[in-house]
Structure 1
């Protein structure tokens, strides 16, 4: 590693960071992380903290998962790369597809299409949805519906179904035919409804109204996160996703579950869809599929969709889509090892238990500090606190204050993420009760400091 003084001097000089203003990064250089072990990260000055972010929602098994590291190393020595385009495949990719088939069987998902990450998976699902309807002779089904506040990546198609203007306005015009309906967000919604069940019904009715307005026969798919993640950890009422499934079935619309964040135990169940008792037509995955150790993703596909493609005799079902790294053998090896460890450690159960502990602790902090307007969580290890300067008016707190909270919390022993006026926590699923206490204690000190 280069000398620490050199690294600090060059920090953000020649590097643009995702989701950040280049000038701001130069004025306020980001924290340089140099090591990680277990659920802790270490910066260039040797300061060690509990990672309350889990990398970026993806390091479910922590930073020291030796079986994944060993699998990557062995695969690099044996077959570091080969294409999975028509005509060739690799042995570990076949093994990976079978492992995913077994894992997602309760969700009714039996086929895999491999990608390089979450945005690629969403892009793939949108394209396959349109092709599916064309194969069935319904060429007019080209539109997509999604939720406001939903996050689906930043590819042009993915950004088009994103429900947050921050990822859209600078890059418009985007993909035409994408429409957004209100999210079941009890703290802020256009209905001024705070009752979760009532709000769910109002949001479902809004979906029905939009379908009626657009025309059901023009809509290819509805894409949604089972629990909205980057939009501020927004869990719906338990009736909402089953209601969406029913609406899609009645109108011949495919349901795509974006589980790039929620799959593999994050919600306290193995998938977010399973948490609500729903079987989607397609599911996008990435992130924790390799514990963040290798860029890799997959779209999981139900028989309903697969059979239309596989029964085609015209040639129109040929998939004119793919990535150089689709089915990368090193990614596949990492995924196989990661799936085995994910199940062996039963991280979904631990996520449920530690998630309840974290959620209750955040509620206690909300009772202590007036700047906490809302606490959301209770569905595994994904929680958020929405900060306000005025509880009655729900006025979002200023950026400087929330940045200061993040900095003070980090100094006190925990890395948390800020997005808008939300403090978001998505720690590794192997977190212990003592680790949760450290996060809560650090937040307490952070709030007290500001």
Structure 2
């Protein structure tokens, strides 16, 4: 490239090592307000990455690079990209009936999907309330818990208890349940009534010496302690994820969930299993609460229900919870325009058929140990402190001192998580999630069709990138 060519390229947003900015990136830099993303400089030297195509477990960007999708889009694309039968299901439904609400009405796909989900859900979770996505499902769960107790003559039961660092959504209600103070500070005051208890991060509780059962007992007891402190007559629900996302794939033993179930029953508190990420095969079951041996009163779900081929979420309640709403004259005054959208519902039905036909649940159960073993190879790196997770949902915690588990300070996080890792991982051929909402982690949740070849590719790219990161910090 000549000096003149170099100058011309810079004006177009390029460098000697990178091509000129694509039209889509240029438009995004000027007009697109991205979610959870910094936008400074995106119309110049740091253009918006543009993903143009997906096929199987891979993506392609506007530079023609093939990228391994290590996050299933956003914990969503269970069946993989480019599944024509899901696109065709959407087209068939749109050509027959593109839209009609479930506000006192239904459509055949919405009714069929509600029945299908009721059959897949554990216990007596038989009533399905559709939403557009996961945050709306959590919002709906809190509202239904409040009205449930009001209808039962206990209107003071309105508070909700969740875990530290947990993310449950961005609406004002769901954000009040979220345990991430930094995410909430710009939007306060939020809906009142959200309270936090410790999570089950075994790596950050070294006093338990690796004893997950002991940590589980202690953490569950903190829930009962919080209910007692606030007053059982004021607490409506406990909300938890079977595997907590934010903070980095935090697991707990089945005995923890059994103990929480007992505590909720003892104090007449609803147990909500937030499975927006965990459901639909991520842990080898339609619903992860089955994987961990407990039956909640409410499940919230979304993401993998359609494998991302249409937006859809749901709140699924037990017969006990729906009972007072079936009394004469009672209405749940809540809903969403796109909840139960017939096209998305048709796609969800086709996706569930596909997952069962290809036994993606069994594939996850059969491959989970190999996925874990492959990722644990990275434990020999000085920057890798912990590898944790379950099924096809794993996190790698990065540290600057392996012996003391010392994490990174604010400046180091800025350079590593906000600066280096996202672009380096993508440039090295892997899309996944660097996150520092708790400690510094990189999360992996590939499509459920991934196998050993993809696990090996992820491990090799991560090893190369983490080695680069260690040199940087």
> By how many angstroms is 1:92 displaced?
1.6
**How many residues are paired up?**
441
Cα 1:68/1:113, change in 2 over 3 Å:
same
Q: Indicate yes or no: 2:395 matched with 1:384.
A: yes
CA contact (8 A) 1:150 1:231 kept: yes
Q: 1:116 aligned to 2:129?
A: no
Does 1:33 pair with 2:46? Answer: no
Structure 2, gaps ≥5 residues long: 1-19
Partner of 1:434: 453
CA contact (8 A) 2:325 2:332 kept: no
Residue equivalent to 1:161? 177
- Could you tell me how far apart the structure 1 residues matched to 2:398 and 2:163 are? 22
Alignment map for 1:239-254 (pairs within 5 Å): 239-254=255-270
Deviation at 1:116, TM superposition (A): 0.3
Q: Does residue 69 of structure 2 align to residue 48 of structure 1?
A: no
Q: Distance in 1 between matches of 2:295 and 2:102?
A: 28
Query: Aligned partners of 1:46, 1:170: CA distance in 2, in Å?
Result: 39
How far 1:189 sits from its partner (Å)? 4.5
1:356 is aligned, of 357, 364, 369, to: 369
The alignment partner of 1:113 has SS state of strand
1:150 corresponds to 2:204: no
CA deviation profile, 1:194-248 (whole Å, cap 9, x unmatched): 4211111111111111111101111111111010013311111221111111110
| Greater mean deviation of Cα atoms: 141-150 or 440-449 | 440-449
Tell which deviates more after alignment, 384-393 or 332-341: 384-393
| Alpha carbons 1:264, 1:270 under 8 Å: kept | yes
Whether 1:372 and 2:384 are equivalent positions in the alignment is yes
Q: 1:24 to 1:370 in 2, by over 3 A?
A: farther
- CA displacement at 1:340 relative to structure 2: 1.1
Q: Give the Å deviation of 1:423.
A: 0.3
Cα gap change, 1:190 to 1:339, in 2 (>3 Å): same
1:301-357 superposed Cα distances (whole Å, 9 cap, x missing partner):
1111122222x23x2x31100011122111111111111112222212222333322
Question: Aligned pair 1:398/2:398, yes or no?
Answer: no
What is aligned with 2:3?
Answer: none
Which of 356, 369, 377 is equivalent to 1:343?
356
| 2:87 equivalent in structure 1 | 69
The 8 Å contact of residues 40 and 49 in structure 1, kept in 2 or not, is answered as: yes
* Equivalent in 140, 153, 160 of residue 137 of structure 1: 153
Matched, 1:103 2:115: no
Per-residue CA deviations over 1:374-400 (Å, capped at 9, x if unaligned) read 1112x2000001111122142225332
**TM-score scaled by length of structure 1:** 0.94
Please state whether the residue corresponding to 2:95 is helix, strand or coil: helix
1:24–1:218 distance in 2 versus 1, CA, 3 Å:
farther
Q: How does 1:243-322 map to 2 (within 5 A)?
A: 243-310=259-326, 312-313=327-328, 315=329, 317-322=330-335
Moved more, 340-349 or 427-436: 340-349
Deviation of 1:289 (Å): 0.8
- Once the 2 structures are TM-superposed, how far is the Cα of residue 425 of structure 1 from its aligned partner? 0.4
SS of equivalent residue, structure 1 residue 13: helix
Q: Which residue of the partner structure matches residue 337 of structure 2?
A: 324
> Among residues 77, 91, 96, which one is paired with 1:59 in the alignment?
77
Rounded to whole Å, the distance in 2 between the matches of 1:220 and 1:281 is 12
2:208–2:214 contact (8 Å) kept in structure 1: no
Alignment match, 1:444: 463
* C-alpha distance in structure 1 between counterparts of 2:29 and 2:361, whole Å: 37
The 1:24–1:169 alpha-carbon spacing in structure 2 relative to 1, beyond 3 Å, is farther
Q: Does 1:19 align with 2:39?
A: no
**Mean CA deviation greater in 192-201 or 296-305:** 192-201
Deviations 1:108-149 (A, max 9, x none): 311100110001111111101111111111111011011112
Cα contact 2:101–2:340 (8 A) shared by 1: yes
In the TM superposition, what is the alpha-carbon distance from 1:191 to its structure 2 partner? 6.5
Contact 2:136–2:171 (Cα < 8 Å) also in 1: yes
Paired residues of 1:60 and 1:291 also in contact (CA < 8 A): yes
Tell me the TM-score normalized by structure 2.
0.89
Unaligned runs of 5+ in 1: none
Aligned to 1:206: 222
**Counterparts in 2 of 1:306 and 1:119: CA distance versus 1, 3 Å:** same
Distance in 2 between the 1:185 and 1:77 partners?
49
Determine which structure has more spread, i.e. the larger CA radius of gyration: 2
Pair 385,399 (structure 1): closer, same or farther in 2 beyond 3 Å? farther
